[in-house]
Amino acid sequence: MIQDPAFNYDIIKTMIFTPKEEHLISEGIYKTSIDGLFFVEKSFHEDERGFFSEIGRIPEIEAITGTPFVVKQINHARSNKNVVRGIHAEGWNKFIFVTQGKAFCALADLRPTSPTFKAIQTFVLGFGEGALSGSLYVPMGVGNSYAVLDGPMDYVYFVDRLYADRDTSGDAAISLFDPELAIDLPIGKEAMILSERDKNCITLKERFDSK
């Protein structure tokens, strides 16, 4: 992993989500520091043939959220090592998981009416040392970003709106480098592979001051 010399990975490891008994709200489902964002443990059975994994059960998510989650679109993004994407929020709820590689994921609550507005929760998802075996249920208005630690990394997400039919008022692209959010990323800025969009995103303050 290429790191910024000023970045202390040992410090951020203490901030990365770890499932604990006090977080458990249903079998295999854990609350996080962001309201409505849940970590879902997956089962994992491996033998000489490979493995079988149960990613999650939608009715159990619906029972917790009180909201139907009817999958309308399934998206798959592949990213190479050192690619960084985000922070993006769209007008849909989503269920995400990593099927290959490893990613540092930072999620930000971008909902002004939320009790956890501006809160950050970080995870390491995927395969390999330090990665959690599980998925995330991400409610509408919570922005996600990720930095690829081991690639290629495959990121799959199920959403409850068609892209063309989503409520675009919920769309947001906020700078990964917003000082107010202060996300410590485990890849130095000079080594990041970023889109032009993500290089030039506005800050949270700029988004809401402009309204």
* 97-135 pLDDT tens trace: 999 999 999 999 999 999 999 999 999 999 999 999 999
The runs of H, that is alpha helices, within 101-182 are none
193 phi, psi to nearest 5 deg:
-105, 110
23 phi, psi to nearest 5 deg:
-90, -15
Query: What is residue 14's predicted lDDT score, i.e. its pLDDT?
Result: 47
- When pLDDT is averaged across residues 169-179 and rounded to a whole number, the result is 91
Q: Which two tokens stand for residue 157?
A: 């997400």
CB-CB contact of 198 with 84 (8 Å): yes
Choose which CATH entry (2.60.120.200, 3.60.40.10, 3.30.365.10, 2.60.120.10) describes domain 9-209: 2.60.120.10
pTM: 0.90
